[in-house]
Amino acid sequence: MSYLTTRAASHAQKVCSLYKKALRECQNWHYFPHLYRYHQVVMRARFDENKDVVDMVKAKQLLEEGEAELWERKHPQPFKFTDSPGGVAYGREAPPPDWLLDTWTPLEKARYPEYFARREIRKEEYIKRWQEKYGNQKAGAH
């Protein structure tokens, strides 16, 4: 899911998002599982108290108060997943280059015959397009 909002969210979606953020904030403040679980249950009870509010003005006011409280109680060093943006391993793993597959032995390639057959066809198409665009030049010829 992208972090960029591209459409309007309903009130229920905003409440669910606030609930999820609140649980994450509980996890940031209370590292140990038994402590985190206790605060998770307390947070659920707080949300359940107002689940039957029908008046949208009151519901919107509660949502804004909840978002303000969440902002006030933000942890100074929130938990980040290692591979997520801001995590310690984000973008660390470089994708392997394509030429590495050319170093495989025929026995290794035999395990994936359909993939390597399609890859050979695509390599021929790439070479053909290259020659059409730049011509058939020999190495060292100027």
Answer whether residue 130 is part of any domain: yes
Q: By residue range, what is the domain housing residue 109?
A: 98-134
> Which pLDDT score is estimated for 42?
95
Instruction: Please tell me whether residues 103 and 67 are part of one structural domain.
Output: no
pLDDT in the model for residue 139: 57
In a domain, 78, yes or no: no
* pLDDT < 70 regions, the chain: 1-3, 138-142
pLDDT at 86: 87
- Report the pLDDT value the prediction gives residue 138, as an integer from 0 to 100: 66
pTM here is: 0.61
pLDDT at 2: 61
Pick the closest to residue 46 from 23, 28, 72, 79 (CA basis): 23
Query: What would the two tokens of residue 23 be?
Result: 């649980």
